[in-house]
Amino acid sequence: MSGEIAIRAFALAAELDACETDGSGAAEHRARGCPVPLCARIEGGAEGARLCAQNRARAAERALATGEAFLDRCHAGLSYLAAPVGGGGATALYAAPLATWAYDDLARGEAEARAVAMSLPPDEFHELRSRLSPIPAKRADALKALLAIVAGRVARDGGDESAVLVDAPAKPRGTPVSSRRGAADPARLEGELLARVRADDRSGAKGILNELLGAIFYKTSGNLDVTKARVLELIVAISRAAVESGDELGRLFGPNYPSILELSHTTSYEGLCRWVVRTLDEFMDAVYEPAPKPASSLLEPALSRIREAYAEPLTLESVARRANISAYYLSHLFQSELGETFVGYLTRTRMEAARGLLERTSLSAQEIAARVGYGDPSYFSKVFKKATGRTPHKYRRGR
């Protein structure tokens, strides 16, 4: 299956639009997996098309910088997926749109600003957006993993046979890959691999590792037991490079001891490839990724920003940038830590402020709406009534 066919198959199976893109925001090999009137309407306008291309460009840059597939929100408030093609290339796969949360009345407030920014009538935007049903988080995660696999297929189809083998390694047929390259020298490749490990270049390390596995298989004439012994020597070399980067042996080998026992029971080349790439990931996780912060400490900067600036036109993306985390992860933290959405927390904060102003001042409902972040007084009254069961006027009278 060619890479272009793989993209088309993913788009149809996932019911998403998919393409290959780069830092320019191009949409190569675009495959339409679902008709989404909202996206068609947005891209039909000059500003919307520009923002879509800009979003693809940012997605490609992030995917290539991190070497990982991810899910995030686009300028239209929908979600998208991206995964690096890998193997030293400069492209990524991009798939959209996904609705990952319900589009309720509270979410409409945030959508107003997005529609205006794209020169779309808010009513039309709301009507088209309401047609999209949210998908479960598990399905979004599965689609992300599947897109990463397709990205590996695209990399191999593009002539880069050292593409990532993490999810679906291809077993050598007859002559291994390395022999078609002139039997690459394992010692040279090992040196390159260790240099990548020391530099925390995960994507580059995986590319070299896959080429090295092919070379080892060729040098050992396909004998799996000899290959496993050579792979163990390689793991020792990788661990040495990791220790030289400042990690502790106990932290590295403690969790990996069961993994090394697993290697002895591996009976296929495919299993061997998966094992060694996973082990490389574990080593690099241990060395280069800092201990995770408690979720609450990650959420607190976002909460502080909302409490301080609730009168401003805040969005999930702008608050996430201030908190130095992704919009997708911030959305997850709101759900897991507080049991509500970002929009729900922002609205609740604004309603608390509005109640205080109604109780302590004689400001009109229109003035209060502006002070708590609502440009449309009628929409403010609707949201206030939903939150308190009374209109602002009745709330003030009922005190």
Q: State how beta strands 70-73 and 79-84 pair.
A: antiparallel
CATH superfamily of 295-397: Homeodomain-like (1.10.10.60)
Intervals of CATH 3.30.450 along the chain = 3-157
**Which tokens hold the place of 380?**
């403010």
Produce one character per residue of 381-399: b if its CB has 16 or more CB atoms within 10 Å, e if not: bbbbeebbeeebeebbeee
Question: What 3-state DSSP class applies to 168?
Answer: coil
Produce one character per residue of 315-344: b if its CB has 16 or more CB atoms within 10 Å, e if not: bbbebbeebebbbbbbbbbbeeeeeebbbb
CB 22 within 8 A of CB 57: yes
CB atoms within 10 A of CB 88: 13
CB 5 within 8 A of CB 82: no
**Which tokens hold the place of 42?**
């947005």
CB 23 within 8 A of CB 47: no
| Cα–Cα dist 143/377, whole Å | 41
Question: What 3-state DSSP class applies to 376?
Answer: coil
Task: Report CA 244 to chain centroid distance, whole Å.
Answer: 31
Element at 71 (helix H, strand E): strand 70-73
CB atoms within 10 A of CB 187: 9
Return the CATH architecture of domain 3-157.
2-Layer Sandwich (3.30)
Low-confidence ranges of the chain (pLDDT < 70): 1-2, 86-89, 104-107, 110, 156-186, 196-204, 218, 221-222, 238-264, 269, 280-297, 399
CB 95 within 8 A of CB 14: yes
| Cα–Cα dist 33/39, whole Å | 13
- Show the DSSP H helices in 67-129 as ranges: 105-117, 122-129
**Range 338-346, long-range pairs (CB < 8 A, 24+ positions):** 338/299, 341/101, 341/106, 341/107, 342/316, 343/106, 343/107, 343/109, 343/110, 343/316, 344/106, 345/303, 345/306, 346/306, 346/310, 346/314
Instruction: Report the amino acid identity of residue 239.
Output: S
| Cα–Cα dist 150/154, whole Å | 6
Task: Report CA 287 to chain centroid distance, whole Å.
Answer: 22
CB 340 within 8 A of CB 334: yes
**What residues contact 151, with CB distance under 8 A and at least 6 apart?**
69, 83, 84, 85, 86, 92, 93, 164
CB 380 within 8 A of CB 374: yes
Intervals of CATH 1.10.10.60 along the chain = 295-397
Q: Give the per-residue pLDDT at 182.
A: 38
CB 191 within 8 A of CB 258: no
CB 38 within 8 A of CB 175: no
Closest CA to 320 of 299, 338, 341: 299
